[in-house]
């Protein structure tokens, strides 16, 4: 039996996760909990909001003959699939291997490397992992003005028909009486905070000068600071498998323009969950692995106390990446990573501010920016590393923007930072 025949047959035998149509590549409505087409759902390992009840200590039921394959043969099969299917939509066959049963899933997780190591986005957890060091991950954002929705796709630019565009994340601007916020989800038609596809949110202040990025899951290996009060949402609809927290992982600040002079925006990003030392030689950014679990699984001892009328939130800093939070005050080497926008230069002939986007941005816009690291000289980071663009965002057409990010940012963090460009900033322009 050929390798593709094996993959095709195991995809048809998956139980409880959904099947994929080989002809059109569409999901049956259960994979990734999407209600739309395959472009708008993750064929991944997202937890089922209503898992089947099992007796305590009972192992999940294995899936027929495929669960009994010799480990050596199974490892060889998955390695061949992982090596041959490097890009989407063919990459979904790797996800199909992990969805067969527990033994297939464990081996697939060992075979598939992190995004930093292999440069390939495979599972939803890849969106929370830092990008590769050697090259940026190239994406594009499509804006829908009618619904205030922003869709992040993987790829250089939109394809002709859009059938092969891989949706990574979706965001919607939610307007309320006193405030607005951007809710980020895995799919484009469910932005409920109680959904298993909820990833995080972005909240601006009244003037549009400061934005707070909240993650639905705690940063990797992070511990709660003693002076913070984590809490959970209370909802009759919430399953124990769903994420129940908001974690303050980053802050984006825009410089206040008092005289309202026209010019490029000045912004600074404080990445509370990423230490500044990660960009040093040998440094390492926090990298979550596995799948995205619920708050109940990751932090069962957290308090559920919350202030009345306020949404729960938990603040993290780079110093909380260690499990010891009772020690002395951290040194400057443990400070959070700071990002600043690269200053453009004034072009006399064009009479405009210019940045070198290397062909990725073609339309002048106040939303265009590039972010570089702003580090303390004591860290000894080379000048070339400080000039390296970590995130760039720019316009290429009507409601179409490119977004390129790299280590140490993740796709979720980069997308949230770019969303700040779309909000109204009366005090900055």
Q: What is the pLDDT of residue 269?
A: 96
Q: Please report which confidence band the pLDDT of residue 428 belongs to, taking 50, 70 and 90 as the band edges.
A: low
As a whole number of Å, the end-to-end CA separation of the chain is 64
The label of the residue with tokens 């990797």 reads 220
Q: What is the pLDDT of residue 381?
A: 82
The mean pLDDT of the chain is: 74
User: For 79, left (φ over 0), alpha (ψ -120 to 50), or beta?
Assistant: alpha
Residue 369 pLDDT > 50? yes
Residue 427 pLDDT > 90? no
Q: What is the mean pLDDT of residues 295-303?
A: 34
Residue 97 pLDDT > 70? yes
Q: What is the mean pLDDT of residues 273-286?
A: 89
Q: What is the pLDDT of residue 180?
A: 87
Both tokens of 215, joined, read 């993650």
Q: What is the pLDDT of residue 63?
A: 52
Is the pTM value of this prediction over 0.85? no
- The answer to whether 166 and 123 have CB atoms below 8 angstroms apart is no
Tell me the percentage of the chain whose pLDDT exceeds 70.
Answer: 64
Q: What is the mean pLDDT of residues 41-45?
A: 51
Q: What is the mean pLDDT of residues 153-169?
A: 78
Q: What is the pLDDT of residue 283?
A: 86
Exposed, middle or buried, 282 (CB in 10 Å: 0-12/13-18/19+)?
A: exposed
Q: List the beta strands (DSSP E) in 45-197.
A: 137-144, 149-154, 166-175, 180-185
Residue 311 pLDDT > 90? no
CB count, 10 Å around CB of 69?
18
Classify each residue of 124-153 as buried b or exposed e, where b means 16 or more C-beta atoms within 10 Å of its C-beta.
bbbbbbbbbeeebbebbbbbeeeeebbbbb
């Amino acid at each position: 039996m050929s390798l593709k025949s094996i993959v095709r047959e195991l995809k048809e035998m998956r139980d409880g996760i959904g099947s994929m149509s080989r002809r059109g590549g569409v999901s049956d409505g259960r994979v990734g909990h999407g209600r739309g087409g395959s472009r708008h759902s993750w064929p991944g390992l997202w937890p089922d909001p209503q898992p089947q009840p099992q007796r305590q200590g009972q192992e999940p039921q294995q899936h027929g003959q495929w669960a009994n394959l010799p480990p050596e043969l199974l490892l060889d099969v998955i390695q061949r699939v992982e090596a041959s299917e490097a890009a989407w939509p063919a990459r979904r066959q790797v996800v199909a291997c992990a969805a067969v049963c527990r033994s297939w899933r464990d081996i697939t997780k060992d075979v598939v490397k992190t995004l930093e190591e292999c440069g390939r986005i495979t599972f939803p957890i890849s969106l929370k992992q830092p990008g590769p060091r050697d090259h940026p991950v190239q994406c594009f954002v499509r804006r829908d003005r009618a619904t205030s929705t922003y869709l992040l796709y993987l790829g250089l630019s939109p394809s002709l028909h859009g059938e092969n565009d891989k949706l990574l994340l979706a965001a919607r601007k939610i307007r309320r009486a006193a405030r607005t916020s951007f809710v980020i989800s895995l799919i484009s038609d469910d932005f409920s905070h109680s959904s298993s596809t909820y990833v995080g949110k972005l909240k601006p202040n009244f003037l549009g000068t400061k934005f707070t990025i909240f993650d639905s899951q705690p940063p990797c290996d992070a511990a709660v600071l003693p002076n913070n009060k984590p809490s959970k949402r209370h909802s009759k609809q919430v399953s124990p498998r769903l994420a129940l927290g908001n974690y303050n992982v980053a802050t984006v600040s825009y410089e206040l323009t008092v005289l309202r002079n026209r010019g490029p925006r000045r912004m600074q990003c404080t990445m509370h969950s990423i230490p500044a030392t990660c960009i040093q030689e040998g440094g390492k950014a926090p990298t979550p692995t596995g799948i995205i679990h619920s708050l109940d699984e990751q932090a069962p001892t957290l308090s559920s106390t919350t202030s009345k009328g306020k949404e729960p939130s938990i603040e993290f800093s780079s110093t909380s990446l260690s499990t010891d939070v009772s020690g002395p005050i951290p040194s400057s080497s443990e400070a959070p990573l700071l990002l600043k926008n690269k200053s453009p230069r004034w072009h006399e002939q064009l009479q405009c501010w210019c940045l070198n986007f290397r062909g990725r941005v073609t339309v002048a816009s106040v939303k265009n920016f590039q972010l570089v690291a702003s580090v303390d000289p004591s860290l000894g980071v080379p000048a070339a590393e400080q000039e390296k663009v970590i995130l760039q965002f720019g316009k290429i057409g009507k409601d179409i923007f490119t977004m390129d990010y790299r280590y140490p940012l993740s796709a979720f963090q980069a997308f949230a930072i770019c969303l700040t460009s779309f909000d109204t900033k009366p005090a900055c322009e």
